[in-house]
C-alpha cells in the first residue's frame, strides 16, 4: 500500500507545528518512539492471548510482536549511540483517546481494536514519512524512512484482520475512527510525544 493510500485513509496530515517541535527535540521523540514500539509489541501479545481461537490473528500478532520488539531494540541502539538514556515518559492521550471509543461486546470490540491498530500504524507511517526529509540527523532520518514500509504493512494487516473479524466490510467503523483520530492529531498538546498534536501555545 502506497503513501497515497495511507494519506487517503487518514483524514488529515500531521500538523506542521508538530513536525517543527519534533525536529527541535529529537532526543525526547526518540525516547517516546521507543515506548511506542514496546507498547505496540505488548498490544499484539495481548490480542494473541485474548483471542487464542482466531488462528490467523494469533499467527499475525506473533510475527508483528517480534518485529515491534526488534524496532524497539533498534531505537534503543540509536539512542545509545547518541548518548541518550531510555527512561519513563507519561503516555500521550492518542492511543487511549482512540480506545475509549471501542465497543465492549464481541466481536465488535475486536473489530474496533483492530481498526484502531490500523490507524495507529497509518499515523506512524505518515509521521515517519514526514520527518525523514527534514531531520538533521541523517542516521535517524534513514531509519525512519526504512520504517515506513513495515508500518504500512502492519496497517494492511490490522485492517484485513478487522474485516475478517467483522465478516465483511468495516467502512462504517473506519469512518467513525477517522474523525476521532483527526481530532487527536490536530488538537494542541502541552507535551511532545510521537503521536501528540501540535504544541499548545
Mean pLDDT estimate for the chain? 96
Residues 6+ apart with CB under 8 A from 61: 44, 45, 47, 48
| Structure confidence at residue 1 (pLDDT) | 55
- Report which DSSP code applies to 168: S
**What pTM did the predictor assign?**
0.96
CA-wise closest residue to 158 among 40, 8, 72: 40
What's the chain's Rg over C-alpha atoms? 16
Question: Fold for domain 16-186?
Answer: Ferritin (1.20.1260)
What are the residue ranges spanned by the domains of the chain? 16-186
Q: What is the pLDDT of residues 33-92, one digit of tens each?
A: 999 999 999 999 999 999 999 999 999 999 999 999 999 999 999 999 999 999 999 989
CA-wise closest residue to 116 among 159, 53, 61, 73: 159
Q: What is the pLDDT of residues 132-160, one digit of tens each?
A: 999 999 999 999 999 998 999 999 999 99
Amino acid at each position: 500500500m502506497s503513501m497515497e493510500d495511507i494519506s487517503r485513509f487518514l483524514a488529515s496530515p500531521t500538523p506542521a507545528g508538530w513536525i517543527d517541535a519534533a525536529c527541535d527535540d529529537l532526543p525526547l521523540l526518540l525516547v517516546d518512539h521507543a515506548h511506542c514500539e514496546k507498547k505496540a509489541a505488548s498490544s499484539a501479545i495481548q490480542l494473541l492471548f485474548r483471542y487464542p481461537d482466531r488462528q490467523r490473528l494469533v499467527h499475525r500478532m506473533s510475527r508483528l510482536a517480534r518485529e515491534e520488539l526488534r524496532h524497539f531494540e533498534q531505537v534503543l541502539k540509536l539512542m545509545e549511540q547518541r548518548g541518550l538514556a531510555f527512561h519513563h515518559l507519561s503516555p500521550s492521550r492518542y492511543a487511549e483517546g482512540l480506545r475509549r471509543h471501542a465497543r465492549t461486546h464481541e466481536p465488535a470490540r475486536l473489530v474496533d481494536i483492530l481498526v484502531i491498530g490500523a490507524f495507529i500504524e497509518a499515523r506512524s507511517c505518515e509521521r515517519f514519512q514526514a520527518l525523514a526529509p527534514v531531520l538533521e540527523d541523517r542516521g535517524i532520518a534513514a531509519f525512519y524512512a526504512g520504517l515506513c514500509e513495515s508500518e504500512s504493512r502492519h496497517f494492511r494487516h490490522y485492517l484485513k484482520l478487522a474485516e475478517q473479524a467483522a465478516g465483511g466490510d468495516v467502512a462504517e467503523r473506519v469512518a467513525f475512527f477517522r474523525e476521532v483520530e483527526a481530532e487527536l492529531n490536530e488538537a494542541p498538546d502541552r507535551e511532545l510525544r510521537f503521536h501528540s498534536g501540535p504544541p499548545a501555545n
